[in-house]
Amino acid sequence: MRTLKRFGIITLLAIAAPAHADAPKTLRHLVEELAVSFPRDELRACAATHPEQAERFDASAMRFSERIHGLLNDMAAVQPALSEPVPAEFLDFQATLAAQDDTGFRTRTLQECLNRIQEFEALQDAELKAGMTQTAESLSGTIRQYRKDMGRVLGTEPSA
């Protein structure tokens, strides 16, 4: 049954991906990916290590992801920088980092995994928003500087 569910989810994602492939990625997408990548990877590793509890870990990862998505919806109204487009290089770099994990290097005990669920659920909305705000501000400045530097290198902006 679980395999059938996963197949259905993968199929839906495959169908939806081309529809959104042309949509420009924004700072919000990058911040969201950064915010959910560690919890998602940790809980995915827990699910692989403890398959009898996989549904529990998958559900926790989904709840956390939905929570981050909702908080970013709230933040978007007051932080216009979240709608700034992000150069593909930044997204490619994040995808490369996300593809790396430590599942081959350490084993997570069941208790450690259950503690992770509690840690992620205990994070306060204000704390998450503050972290994502700081991340967005930092990335926005980095992207601005990157564009400026690339403009100079490519000769489209005057050098300082």
Tell me the pLDDT tens digit for each residue of 74-116: 999 999 999 999 988 888 888 787 777 655 667 889 999 999 9
Residue 11 lies in a domain: no
Is residue 13 pLDDT above 90, yes or no?
no
Q: How many domains in the chain?
A: 1
Domain that holds residue 146: 23-153
Residue 3 confidence (pLDDT): 45
Picking from 71, 46, 77, 78, the residue whose alpha carbon sits closest to that of residue 59 is 46
Cα 52 from chain centroid (whole Å): 26
Picking from 29, 125, 45, the residue whose alpha carbon sits closest to that of residue 83 is 29
Residue 40 lies in a domain: yes
What does each C-alpha distance from 86 to 32, 37, 81, 144 come to in angstroms?
A: 13, 18, 11, 10
